[in-house]
Chains A and B, each alone.
Chain A
């Protein structure tokens, strides 16, 4: 059999199909996303959020699902310049690093078990396990154990979805919960709103934004892996904007913590 006759390896996909242009097999004449003609039908008809939902779920969202996802996307788009992921992006910016470097940097801390996408992943797993069963939640919160097959993750040091440094739940988190819980189909969010104080008392800590996001992802029908990926993506806009702002400001106007480091084993000048 000649090389040409050998069957070519392919990418298997339920998401995407392309029809080539007649004059170029490497140029698409039409692209279909889960059966919808992206450039011939969807473009101009659907919002970015609807398209995002379609890409991950392969079905169009209902109006309330799209609205809920959009609300969540706004809520988490910019965690602000004190957030660990945004700080990483800004560190790229101030040193004049590339834009890609800044976003890759943001994904680092943004992927973590503390305030990051892995915390969200674990929080979604709790929701899947406990649902809206207060007894199951109490049992989980009183003795939280991470069931983790991926061993490269550090030991978890707080209950996912709860702020280990919180005094009480912060106002923006209450505002986001209040708003998102008002959507059709937001059953988990409404349950969280109703039982928040009870859960916080049991956990000993106030909820954080991850908690609200996890409930929203559950109500949207995303699994923990889809939720983790979306959380990583949806928190990048602020990181990008802040990185550019600090790139313009430069190193000298950015904290270096000049007097902040205390070395406990300094051998002194030799």
Chain B
């Protein structure tokens, strides 16, 4: 549970709005029309000229530039982990439904991305996975026992920690490949990754039988690179895009309405019996 208390300032009515009218003060950046663009204190046309989009994406989120190997890790993780052109996956299915309905590609992408903020996968899970592994590290750093932390978390939340287990099958085909990538870049020995592997061992010995899933591994890998839960959640907001646009495009170019159509009998009615409106 995340309890946060409202900081009750002395009310000063609409004064903050009056002060902000036509007055947005920022360090994030600005467009100087017809001349130049500033991005977090750097000039886009000179300072960022040689940067890749992925470098700028993480710079935008964190205000920091990451090393070449860190950027390679981030970039390639999103190929291995989330670029599935599989239209049955729930968020990708939204893109495909937009394609078969002949909605536009950008509506397809944005509605599919909105749906990616799931509890069981995507946004909410990403956030929770980093938070869990960081909390585990803090617990251990303060002298706590990892097993007690894991079992305590399960007892409190009544669920397997986010980042472990998988809804349909109990293995994750992406994990060995992500580990192979991490190893090739020398990121496989970070503190959070080691903790994640230790937690997997704890869970495998107990009755939970939950494996480390790719969400948990990427959360640990990115936590090792210094990303907070919020930064990881921001960074991961668009990581499904490559698979989604493929799903949209596929359905868009097949006969209209033919993406998994449902006949009437596919609705299994479990409600009230037939009745007349009496009013």
Binding site for B on A (CB under 8 A): 8-20, 25-28, 32, 34-37, 41-42, 45-46, 50, 58, 60, 63, 98, 100-101, 104, 143-152, 155-159, 164-167, 204-205, 257, 259-267, 269-270
A269–B24 touching, CB < 8 Å: no
A14–B270 touching, CB < 8 Å: yes
User: How many residue pairs, one in A and one in B, have C-beta atoms under 8 Å apart?
Assistant: 177
On whether A263 and B30 interact (CB within 8 A), knowing A19-B264, A26-B264, A156-B4, the answer reads yes
Binding site for A on B (CB under 8 A): 1-8, 10-11, 13-14, 16-17, 22-27, 29-30, 35-36, 38, 40-43, 45-47, 103-104, 106-107, 110-111, 114, 117, 119, 123-124, 127-128, 131, 229, 233, 261-277, 279
A35–B38 touching, CB < 8 Å: no
**A27: B residues at CB distance < 8 A:** 264
Give the CA-CA distance A8 to B265 in the complex, in Å: 9
Give the CA-CA distance A18 to B5 in the complex, in Å: 48
A146–B4 touching, CB < 8 Å: yes
Chain B residue nearest in CB terms to A100: B107
B264–A18 touching, CB < 8 Å: yes
B261–A10 touching, CB < 8 Å: no
Give the CA-CA distance A149 to B1 in the complex, in Å: 5
B36–A269 touching, CB < 8 Å: yes
**A267: B residues at CB distance < 8 A:** 38, 41-43, 47
On whether A15 and B23 interact (CB within 8 A), knowing A149-B2, A151-B124, A164-B11, the answer reads no
A35–B273 touching, CB < 8 Å: yes
**A14: B residues at CB distance < 8 A:** 269-272
B3–A152 touching, CB < 8 Å: no
A143–B5 touching, CB < 8 Å: yes
A13–B269 touching, CB < 8 Å: yes
Give the CA-CA distance A98 to B107 in the complex, in Å: 9
Give the CA-CA distance A190 to B223 in the complex, in Å: 51
A109 CB, min distance to chain B CBs, angstroms: 14
Chain B residue nearest in CB terms to A20: B264
**A156: B residues at CB distance < 8 A:** 4, 6
Among A164, A204, A205, the one with the most B-chain Cβ atoms within 10 Å of its Cβ is: A164
A28–B264 touching, CB < 8 Å: yes
Contact partner of A35 (CB less than 8 A), chosen from B43, B124, B131, B274, is B274
A262–B5 touching, CB < 8 Å: no
A145–B25 touching, CB < 8 Å: no
Chain B residue nearest in CB terms to A266: B38
A151–B131 touching, CB < 8 Å: yes
On whether A16 and B43 interact (CB within 8 A), knowing A104-B107, A151-B124, A155-B4, the answer reads no
* 8 tightest Cβ-Cβ pairs between the two chains A and B: A17-B269, A14-B271, A35-B272, A20-B264, A25-B263, A10-B268, A167-B13, A260-B22
B104–A98 touching, CB < 8 Å: yes
**B272: A residues at CB distance < 8 A:** 14, 34-35, 58
Contact partner of B14 (CB less than 8 A), chosen from A19, A143, A167, is A167
A146–B268 touching, CB < 8 Å: no
A13–B4 touching, CB < 8 Å: no
Give the CA-CA distance A166 to B15 in the complex, in Å: 9
**B117: A residues at CB distance < 8 A:** 152
Give the CA-CA distance A151 to B230 in the complex, in Å: 9
- Supplied contacts A10-B268, A18-B267, A37-B274, 5 more A-B pairs, CB within 8 Å: A144-B5, A157-B7, A263-B29, A269-B36, A270-B43
B12 CB, min distance to chain A CBs, angstroms: 9
Give the CA-CA distance A91 to B100 in the complex, in Å: 28
Among B35, B124, B267, the one with the most A-chain Cβ atoms within 10 Å of its Cβ is: B267
Chain B residue nearest in CB terms to A203: B8
Give the CA-CA distance A9 to B25 in the complex, in Å: 54
**B47: A residues at CB distance < 8 A:** 267, 270
A11–B128 touching, CB < 8 Å: no
Give the CA-CA distance A35 to B271 in the complex, in Å: 7
A152 CB, min distance to chain B CBs, angstroms: 5
Give the CA-CA distance A214 to B190 in the complex, in Å: 48
Chain A residue nearest in CB terms to B111: A104
Show 20 A/B contacts (Cβ-Cβ < 8 Å), sorted by A.
A12-B268, A13-B268, A14-B269, A14-B271, A16-B271, A18-B267, A20-B264, A26-B264, A41-B277, A60-B277, A144-B6, A145-B5, A146-B6, A147-B3, A148-B4, A159-B8, A260-B22, A267-B38, A267-B47, A270-B47
